[in-house]
Structure 1
C-alpha cells in the first residue's frame, strides 16, 4: 500500500513539474538572452505554453506574425472549452494585421463578445454611432458597410491595465494607442514582438485563462473596493514548502492561505511561487478585478452618484437621475436669470446656451441638421447643454413630436432625457 502511495505521489509530482516547471527562455530560444527586450513577457507566455520557438529555434521578434502563431497563442487564453474554427474575415496572406489580432484575442478571451460586436454594428447601420476612432478608422468602410472591427478596436483603445510596485505606485499600460499623426494603422501587419506585447497584457487579465491547470483557489474573482479576498492553494503533496504570493498591488505574503484587501480599482495579476524542499519550483497565477464603489463616485460631477446616475458621463440634473433636461423652462424678462450658469432665457421661455459663455470647438461639425424624414435616430439636441456635448445632430422639438424614450413634466414645459439615444417621430 505504501509503495503504491509513493508511486502515486511521484506521478503527481511529475505532472505538476511538467505544467509549472520554469524553463528559462534563453535556453529555449536561440536568439534570446536575459538582456533581450521584453524578456519577462516572453518567459511568462512561454510558461503558459502560448509561445514556442519557430522552425529554426528562434523567437524572431522582428518577423511578421503568422496565422499559426496567432491561433496557437489565442488558444491558451481562450474562454472556449473546445477549439473552434474561426469564421474570421482574415486577409488571404499568411500574416496578421492589428485589427485581426485584436479581434481574435478579444473574442477568444471574452473581453468583447460576438453579441457586443453585433450590437455595435447595428448601431452603426442605424446612424447612432458616427464617431471616428482615428484618422484611419471610421464606423463605416469606404463601401458604406459597417466596419466589422470598429467595436473591437474601440474596446482596445479604451483598454488599460494597471500594475503596482512594492510601494503601491500605479503604472498604467495601454493596449494600443494612436501614432503621432492620429492614426491607428489597423491594416498594418504585426511583428512577433508587437503581438507579444498584446498577448501578454490580455493574458494577465483574462478571466478564463488557466481554468484547467490553475492551482490557486480564491474566495471571489471580482467585487467593489475595498475588496477582501482569501487565497489558498490545493497543492497538498508539498512537505516543507515555502510559499510566495504576489498580489500585484505591492502586497505579498508567505502563508499557504493568505488574505489581501485591494483598495484601488483595476485588474490585478496574482502569482504564487511554491518552492519545494528539493528546490523544485512550482508556479501558478490568476487574475481578479477590483471595481469602483459606484455608490461613492460621481464621474461627471452633477451631484448624482454613479450607481444611481442614468447618464454617468454626462452632466445632468439631480431630479432627472443625472441625465440632462432636454428643454428647461425659465421666466422671461425676469430680473434674475433663472437658468443655470452659461445659459440664458430665450424669448420662447426656454433656457439656451449663452453664446458669449461657450465657444464650442468644431461647432459646425458637431451640430448637424437632420435630413428630411419621418424618423431621426441619434442623440437629441439639448438646449440645456453646450453645443459640443456629444450631440449627433440639432433638431428643434415641436409639440407634435414624440420622443422615445422621454418623460414630459405635467405642465408640458420640461422634457427629461432617459438615456443617450432617441427616436423622434
Structure 2
C-alpha cells in the first residue's frame, strides 16, 4: 500500500506564539514519540526521557504562571498540545495531563511561599507528578475515602492506601487527599507529599489491557510524615480542591481522547486509500466512506466541545457542566472511532501489525478515568435539574 501521511489538524489558535508552540510539539511528537510508541507499549516501557525533554522544552507547565516557570498559556492552547501528544502516544499525552493535574492544587490553592518553593521544579525542573484521590473502596464515591492524616505537632502523619494512581511508584511528588476530620467531603485535606518520603511505597503496577507503558499502581502510606507547610489550602478544603482539579483534568482527558481518535482516523483513511479489493481502493465504497465520515464528524464535534469549555475556563466563567460534557462525548467518541477503525482494517485491524487494535484497547480506559462517564452524566444532570431527591 502507498504511504499516505496524515494531514495536520487545521487548528484555530489565538496567537503566533501558540502556532509556533504547536509546531514545536508536533515536531517532538513525530520525531521523538510516535516512532517508538508501539514497541515501548508492547514492552510496558515508560518513556521518562520524553518527559524530561518535554520539561526542558517548557511543556510540562503550560497553563501555569511564568513567574514559577510555567508557560502561562490559555487552556485553549494547552489542550491542543495534549491532543497532539496523545495522537503520537496516549501514554505521553495522558501523562502530561496527570502531571498538570498533580500540580494544580499547589498552583491554585498553595501559598506564595509554597509555590515559590516547589512549583519551579515541578513545572520545569524535570519532576513528574501523580494525583492521589481514589482508594480501593472509594472510587466514584471519592468523598468516602479513608486514608487518614493526623496532626502531630507541626507535622501530619498519613496512613492508608490509594489506588489506580497513574505514575504510581515513579512520581517525584504526589498530591494526596486524606481525611483529617469527620466523615464526608468536609473532613478531607490536601497534601503535597514527596515521592521519596519515608513510609511511602508502591505496589506492583496493575496489568492492564491498554496503556501498558503508563504505570498504574496502588500507593501505600505507612506513617508518612509531612510538615504542615505541605498542606495545600485550609484544613477541610481538600475535597473542594479535588473537584476543582477534576474539572480541569476532565478537559485534559477529553483532549487526549480526541488525539487518540484522530490517530485512529488517520490510520483508517490511509488504509482505505491504499487497500485494493474488487479492482479499486476500498475507500471508493460508499459503506466505508460513510463510516469514515461519521468518524471524522465525531472527532470534529469533540474538538469543538472541549475547546468551547476551555474558552469558558479561560474567560473565568463556570465550566464544570461543559467539562463533564466534553469528557463524556470525547471519550465515547474515541471508543467508537477506534472500534470502527479496527472494522475498516478488517483482519489486519485485529493484529498487532497495525496500531488500531492498541488504540481500541487504550480508548476504553478514557471512559473510566477521572470520573466514569456515568458520573459525568450525573454531573450534567445535576446542573440541569438540581440534586437528586432523597
Which protein, 1 or 2, shows the higher relative CO under an 8 Å CA cutoff with sep ≥ 6?
2
Q: Judge same fold: TM > 0.5, yes or no.
A: no
Instruction: Please identify which structure carries the higher strand content.
Output: 1
TM superposition score category, shorter chain reference: under 0.3
Give the TM-score normalised by structure 1.
0.22
TM-score by length of 2: 0.24
More helix by share: 2
Over alpha carbons, which structure has the higher Rg?
1
